[in-house]
Amino acid sequence: MIAFDRVEKTFKDGTAAVNGINFHVNEGEFFVLIGPSGSGKTTALKMINRLIDPTAGHIYVEGTSVFEHNLKDLRYKIGYVLQQIALFPHMTIKENIGLIPEMKKWPQEKIDERIDELMTMVGLEPKTYKNRRPAELSGGQQQRVGVIRALAGDPDILLMDEPFSALDPITREQLQNDLVNLQKNIKKTIVFVTHDINEAMLLGSRICVMNKGEIAQIDTPDNLIRHPQTEFVRSFIGDRRNAWEDPLIKVLRTIEGESDNPSDPQPDRAALNSELTLSEAVKRLDQSFEPSLPVYYQDGYLGELSYKRALTYLRSAQTADKRVGGTIL
Amino acid sequence: MTANILLDFTAFSIERREQLYITLWEHVQMSLTALLIAVFIAVPAGILLNHYQKGAEPVIGTTAVLQTIPSLALLGFLIPFIGIGTAPAIVALTAYALMPVLRNTYTGIREVDPALMEASRSMGMDSRQQLLKVQLPLAMPMMMAGIRTSMVLIVGTATLAALIGAGGLGDLIMLGINRADNFYILLGAIPAALLALFFDAVLRFAEKRSLGTSLKPMVAVVVIALLVVVSPRLYQALPFADEEADIVLAGKIGAEPEIILNMYQELIESDTDYSVDIEPGFGTTDFTFEAALAGEVDGYLEFTGTAIADFLNEDPVSNDEQEAYEQAREGMKEEYGLEFLEPMDYQNTYALAITEEIAEEEDLNAISDLRGIASELTAGFTFEFIDRNDGYPAIQDVYGIEFGDVEGMDPGLRSEALVSEDVQVIDAYSTDAYMIRYDLLALEDDENVFPPFNGAPLLRQEVLQDYPQIEDSLNRLGGMITEEEMMEMNYRVDEEDEDAAEVAEEFLIAEGLIDG
């Protein structure tokens, strides 16, 4: 779907943002570009829809070099979501969403239908919100509109440049979850830039870690954690190995505290022994095809282990690591 | 008291509504034309400058410099290049209006959030679509603020355009200043202010309606403005519109030049087949003179004393009327190629005026009669009169008169100061209408201190060659019209509001110069 072939970008001031990178993104894939600031991830993203042109190398979209596409057509088939959201403040929500379909000269009825459909899809009641202006919406609502504006022209590809980083943590988590669900339904090819490794882990089917204009490693989230190929990748994603080897009892106590003793809501399932390591437990969860499994310490029910809980634990372990690293202990 | 003034003013306004409508329309025309030209130059320029940002500061700086030139200076400066009348006024007004529109357009567009520009680019908009859908709508409030600033500036400054014969509400204001009549000043100033407010309201309304993606109300306003500006011009361009006259004569601001000007027209048109256009209230001395030099007008009524002192920069060779006339005639011909025809009898010179009452009490007829009592009197003189060598200094030197106290004051205030007995003596123009209104007496200048100011037609030589019969026709007025007659006619026009053309015609008929 998208391919980078020895792509370089040196800006006029001499900054080499991207130094000969190669990768390809498959159709329907959720591809995450991640790295510290200045790693070239945003530059790489913007070269796909030619907001930035490379100084060397080739970029292919659907097998054709981006330079051989008609620029308008190329951009029509690539939706773009900005960190700054950038809804046009002088237009209503409806007008914002309808911009690309209008430029593509869709019939008005089809545009109206499309607007309603998309707004409903992200949980914005069309009647209520259609004629409002962006300033009347919350940040989270605005970025939902930002996403569906990018989707309005039914593009094959969606580029997202740190779309959730300006939002508060709760809203961010909501939108992340929504995006996961959305992707299940719409099956677009998504290229997503972030500097938040947890976000990358949650969303990405493959993650491309960049550093100083080069690619450090491209891999699935799991492999990235288990087999970081360089010291940079290891330190960037955090030393998660320890947390993966923690016993479940520690995992659940950390998440739930020791406050209450709940009872198992569905007693007759396969249970996880609390002595198991997290990595072993996640493997069993994988095999069980269940959203979550109960954890038992001897005969006592401790709670549920889900992917999300595993992730929450890994995340908290990472912050804890950092805290320890920062103080004298 | 206040209510009475309001009533008086209302009656005054209703009486002169024709004049008000005409000048108001001229004002609207002039202002809108200048504003439209400024917008059509400055908005595209502001857009272009965003593409060439290096050029922005110098260009905007230049328009800012234009803005700092005093408006009168700019108007005067333009006369040698584009003459007088509406054209230079519009050029000057446009120059004033450029900066606010240009700067605000440039800034408004430049300050559109870069993220929005990136978003619009990512959607596949080209630069034209970006401009129309994103930049202009977002810059609109800023641009409109600039346009509104310019508009107020233009409507205000346009009142000065009357000084170079462009007409407009300034005509009424000039007339008011000239006649020391506040009602005329208000009749010009109040509609000018209301006009500014009205335009502002229209623009604000259009701006409100435009908020959003639609530029339609904005376009509608521009179209209406264009129609207002263009329609009279189209009408003039039509074949049945007035043809240009053979001869164009102008008159300075005031009743007297207007009356004499009408006499010129009557005489020429009754004696010859030439057609004559007259432009009364054309402008101040300097502007009218420059216009004649530039050939914008063919001639006007000028005074010998003014020609000698102001245009030739000479001292009068003598205080004898005939010798002064010869000096002026020869000088103007040699220096400027302008021809003075024969002068009329009356002089519109400086005079010392007192009330009839005092004159009778103290038995005063001539300036020399003041010698005995001058030290007990307070004089109210214009600053110019106090300053000029042929003014108060000459009185002191020649007559040896020193007034007890001398108050410098504005011309418009003198006669009233006299009537209210704050002062007992003022300087006056010998034919001014208020001499009659306030029962004033001009003391005879028995020592001939004041230089002669005889009025005569000052014409371009070319017009005399092309239309040779003018000379004989206008010379028939030579030696005519006494000071009393002129004062009387001025009074009828200024104070009794009679029509200058009728007053002029009556006089000519009474003197047998034309047939009734």
Contacts with B130 from chain A: Cβ below 8 Å = none
pLDDT tens digits, A100-147: 999 999 999 999 999 999 999 888 999 999 999 999 999 889 999 999
Contacts with B129 from chain A: Cβ below 8 Å = 103
Secondary structure (3-state) at B128: helix
> Are A95 and B115 an interchain contact pair (Cβ–Cβ within 8 Å)?
no
Closest A-chain CA to B213: A91
> Are A75 and B138 an interchain contact pair (Cβ–Cβ within 8 Å)?
no
For residues B382 and B427, the answer to whether their CB atoms sit within 8 Å is yes
> Are B124 and A100 an interchain contact pair (Cβ–Cβ within 8 Å)?
yes
Interface contact B110, partner A, CB < 8 A? no
pLDDT tens digits, B443-482: 888 887 887 888 899 999 888 888 888 888 888 888 888 8
Q: How confident is the model at residue B241 (pLDDT cuts 50, 70, 90)?
A: very low
For residues B406 and B426, the answer to whether their CB atoms sit within 8 Å is no
For residues A2 and A45, the answer to whether their CB atoms sit within 8 Å is no
Residue A31 pLDDT exceeds 80: yes
> Are A51 and B122 an interchain contact pair (Cβ–Cβ within 8 Å)?
yes
Only one residue has tokens 């800012």, namely B64
Phi-psi domain of A15 (left: phi exceeds 0; alpha: psi -120 through 50; beta: other) = beta
Which of B119, B120, B213 is nearest residue A90 as measured by Cβ atoms? B213
> How do the residues of chain A divide into helix, strand and coil, expressed in percent and rounded to 5?
45, 25, 35
A-proximal residues of B, 193-212, CB under 8 Å: 211-212
pLDDT tens digits, B337-390: 888 888 888 888 888 888 888 888 888 888 888 888 888 888 888 877 887 777
What is the Cα–Cα distance from A209 to A32, expressed in whole angstroms? 8
According to the model, what pLDDT value does residue B52 have? 86
According to the model, what pLDDT value does residue B62 have? 87
- Give the residue from A213, A154, A183, A175 showing the smallest Cα distance to A6: A213
For residues B336 and B311, the answer to whether their CB atoms sit within 8 Å is yes
Provide the shortest C-alpha distance from residue A261 to chain B (in Å). Answer: 51
Interface contact B512, partner A, CB < 8 A? no
Q: How confident is the model at residue A329 (pLDDT cuts 50, 70, 90)?
A: very low
Supply the mean pLDDT for chain A: 86
In Å, what is the CA distance from A230 to each residue of A216, A224, A236, B369, B491? 7, 10, 10, 117, 105
In Å, what is the CA distance from A28 to each residue of A185, B85, B486, B495? 11, 73, 100, 93
Name the token pair of A9.
Answer: 């970008």
Supply the mean pLDDT for chain B: 84
Which of A75, A76, A95 is nearest residue B213 as measured by Cβ atoms? A95
Contacts with A89 from chain B: Cβ below 8 Å = 138
- Give the residue from B225, B291, B66, B237 showing the smallest Cα distance to B157: B66
Pairing of strands B247-250, B299-303: parallel
Contacts with B118 from chain A: Cβ below 8 Å = 51, 82, 86
* DSSP label of B133: I
Residue A320 pLDDT exceeds 70: no
What is the Cα–Cα distance from A76 to B104, expressed in whole angstroms? 33
Contacts with B212 from chain A: Cβ below 8 Å = 90-92, 95
Q: How confident is the model at residue A236 (pLDDT cuts 50, 70, 90)?
A: confident
Phi-psi domain of A256 (left: phi exceeds 0; alpha: psi -120 through 50; beta: other) = alpha
pTM greater than 0.95 (yes/no): no
> Are B138 and A90 an interchain contact pair (Cβ–Cβ within 8 Å)?
yes
Element holding B124 (H helix, E strand) = none
Interface contact B125, partner A, CB < 8 A? yes
Residue A259 pLDDT exceeds 70: no
Residue B253 pLDDT exceeds 80: no
Q: How confident is the model at residue B242 (pLDDT cuts 50, 70, 90)?
A: low
Closest B-chain CA to A84: B115
For residues B74 and B157, the answer to whether their CB atoms sit within 8 Å is no
Q: How confident is the model at residue A328 (pLDDT cuts 50, 70, 90)?
A: very low
Which of A75, A89, A103 is nearest residue B122 as measured by Cβ atoms? A75
For residues B307 and B313, the answer to whether their CB atoms sit within 8 Å is no
A-proximal residues of B, 331-360, CB under 8 Å: none
pLDDT tens digits, B70-96: 887 887 777 777 766 788 888 889 988
More confident: A328 or B139: B139
Instruction: Indicate the residue type of B38.
Output: A
Closest B-chain CA to A104: B124
Q: How confident is the model at residue A323 (pLDDT cuts 50, 70, 90)?
A: very low
> Are A88 and B124 an interchain contact pair (Cβ–Cβ within 8 Å)?
no
> Are A84 and B121 an interchain contact pair (Cβ–Cβ within 8 Å)?
no
> Are B113 and A86 an interchain contact pair (Cβ–Cβ within 8 Å)?
yes
Residue A327 pLDDT exceeds 50: no
For residues B60 and B119, the answer to whether their CB atoms sit within 8 Å is no
Contacts with A71 from chain B: Cβ below 8 Å = 124
Which of A91, A92, A100 is nearest residue B123 as measured by Cβ atoms? A100
